[in-house]
Amino acid sequence: MLDYHLHLWPHGQRDSAPTLEQVAAYCERANAAGVTEIALTEHLFRFVQADNLLRGFWDDEPDVALRASMAEYWDAHAHADLDDYVHCVEDAKAAGLPVVLGLEVDYYRGRMHEVAELLAGYPFDVLLGSVHWIGTWRFDDLSDPVSMGQWSARHVDDAWDGYTSAMEELAASGACDVLAHPDLVKVAGHTPEHPEECWDRLTEAALSSGMAAELSSAGWRKPVDEAYPSRGLLERLVARGVPLTTASDAHRLRDVADRAADLAATLEELRVDTLRAFRERRPVTIELGAPSSRP
């Protein structure tokens, strides 16, 4: 198994200097859960380099409250140094730890070319592509009343359509390797009566871009209380041969490799026997081995 989606810092907590000890502790906990390789994938928006490039992407948001909320969120997050982070993970690799260098990259409409240019200057192994906001609406920020209030002000079908469109555009940009938590829009527990059309579009986005998709246990820790993606979407991805990674999306040590055994059981039910890993953004196939040897 892999844990290809890990953060060093919880949201709402200021970043600290990344250390080899923290990465080593993540590897140790992952290994104890049967995970053989991890990817550190901190959010791009936690780094001053992203601040320099992307600050103010919310400026044309007409809703004053949403605009202010995004500005505040951005200010609270964009402080770490990308070079320090990269050096720390590269040092961990050099020390022989089973870790690869990644990043979680949000979709910035009309800005992905500049984002790709920034990231091309670093030796990333894997880039996760994510949609956490529709326009400037942070639909998954459960702690923000302004963001959560929007779920009452909008139609669920429209939210899903906007999310799916952003994922399609992100995939088409070619900037990333893996579609992270592919149906994150369900996080707060709002699902349309017929999600199948969005599932089909998300599957097509993965196929046409050649991206892998992530099977993540993080949804079990959220109000929706199920893995990402939902079974219906996962079955579509598997049926069409979209390669998968597995992930916990932990933001702290105790959640590293969370429910890896449940993810393994899901893969076994669907007869998935390989995962996709990455080296220098090139795909590598990982054999899961006999079911009995899985965690």
Binding residues for Zn ion, rule: CB under 5 A, are 104, 130, 249
Nearest distance in Å: CB 218, Zn ion = 7
In the complex, what is the shortest distance from the CB of residue 253 to Zn ion, in angstroms, rounded to a whole number? 15
Complex with Zn ion: residue 37 or 104, whichever CB lies closer: 104
CB of 5 to Zn ion, least distance (A): 5
Our CB check for Zn ion shows the closer of 125 and 249 to be 249
Q: Which is nearer to Zn ion, 50 or 239 (CB)?
A: 50
Instruction: Rank residues 8 and 86 by Cβ distance to Zn ion and give the closer one.
Output: 8
The nearest distance, CB 239 to Zn ion, in angstroms, is 25
CB of 6 to Zn ion, least distance (A): 8
Of 59 and 169, the one with the shorter C-beta distance to Zn ion is: 169
By C-alpha distance, which of 156, 153, 211 is closest to 182? 211
Q: Give the tokens for residue 173.
A: 């940009």
